[in-house]
A and B are shown apart, each in its own frame.
Chain A
Amino acid sequence: MKFTLRTARSDSEQSVIPLVNIVFLLLIFFMLAGQLTTPELFRIEPPFSDSRTRGSTSDTLILLSPTGELGVDGKPVTVEQLRDIVAVWLTADPATVVKLKADASMDSHKVIELSESLRDQGVSRLLLLTTLPSG
């Protein structure tokens, strides 16, 4: 009786080892392949493009929600606040390239209006963030 009890327990530990292996592999895959991101302020579906220029969502990024709200660094900002933030970027580096993340379905004129107000502040280059079409 005692003998069978002991083998049952060691069997259950043995059978869990392949599971642990797979979980470890998945863990390592997600750690290496994924990029850690903060939750988005707005729900933005970026446009698809075949552009070969690589983009990133790190610093000097402006979010433009489908309803026209602005966000920087995960915080909603007003037009005036954005102006101050961009002024700080430009004093740090006058050739700052501002990245813009906007929704694919939104009116392109909203994007142009924002780019014109950035131009008035002295921004000369803009990167419009897109993603590769899936599949």
Chain B
Amino acid sequence: MNNRTLCPPGAVCTTDMERRRRRPIIGLTPLIDVVFILLIFFMLASSFLDWRAIPLEVPRTGFEPSSEVQGVLVRIKRGGEVDLNGIPVTGGALIQQLGRLLETSPNVRVLVQPQAGVPLQEVVRVLDGLSEAGARHVSLVKR
């Protein structure tokens, strides 16, 4: 009431109470600015790739196939044809035949030999099949 009486006639005056109500202690706008900056940072810096891995063995030099460690050879040709120990097979047949072999001798070593120029994706597709068949010792070889 005292404030009102001090206010000159015609001027726009507010009481302390009104001023406090109008301006909050922490402004919303700076908060939104900071949150937006954080949001943009996390959107750009984070990645959502679900990483998987294919375990490969790299046999030591001088590795000699002994009688108890059997090995099978899977060759991948440039066109995507696959052969198992020299016999051409399809993807499904490879899994079946290898699965049967692995049932009798689970420690069989599978050597995968892609031809030069076979893209890695093609090799990974075959490696997927091998792991589906249950192969545990898989190595990549050049020749």
Given the known interface contacts A23-B39, A31-B42, the answer about A127 and B49 at a Cβ–Cβ threshold of 8 Å is: no
Identify the stretch in B29-37, B85-93, B98-106 within 8 Å (CB) of chain A at 4 or more residues.
B29-37
A81 at the B interface (CB under 8 A): no
CB distance from A17 to the nearest CB of B (A): 8
How many angstroms from the CA of A107 to the CA of B129 in the assembled complex?
20
Q: Mark each residue of chain A from 14 to 39: 1 if its CB lies under 8 Å from any CB of chain B, else 0.
A: 00110110011011001101111100
A131 adjacent to B46 (CB under 8 Å): no
Q: Which of B22, B31, B55, B117 makes the CB contact (< 8 A) with A126?
A: B55
Residue of B nearest to A117 (CB): B58
In the bound complex, residues from chain A placing their C-beta under 8 Å from that of B28 are 13, 16-17, 20
Given the known interface contacts A56-B51, A57-B51, the answer about A36 and B118 at a Cβ–Cβ threshold of 8 Å is: no
In the bound complex, residues from chain B placing their C-beta under 8 Å from that of A30 are 39, 42-43, 46
Q: How many residues of B contact A (CB 8 A)?
A: 47
A104 adjacent to B32 (CB under 8 Å): no
A75 at the B interface (CB under 8 A): no
B45 at the A interface (CB under 8 A): yes
Residues of A within 8 A of B (CB): 2, 6, 9-10, 13, 16-17, 19-20, 23-24, 26-27, 30-31, 33-37, 46-57, 99, 102-109, 111-113, 115-116, 118-120, 123-132
26 residue pairs of the A-B complex, CB under 8 angstroms, read A6-B22, A13-B28, A20-B31, A20-B32, A26-B43, A30-B42, A31-B42, A33-B46, A34-B46, A37-B45, A37-B47, A46-B49, A49-B125, A53-B53, A55-B53, A107-B118, A108-B123, A112-B114, A116-B58, A119-B58, A124-B58, A125-B55, A127-B54, A128-B56, A130-B51, A130-B52
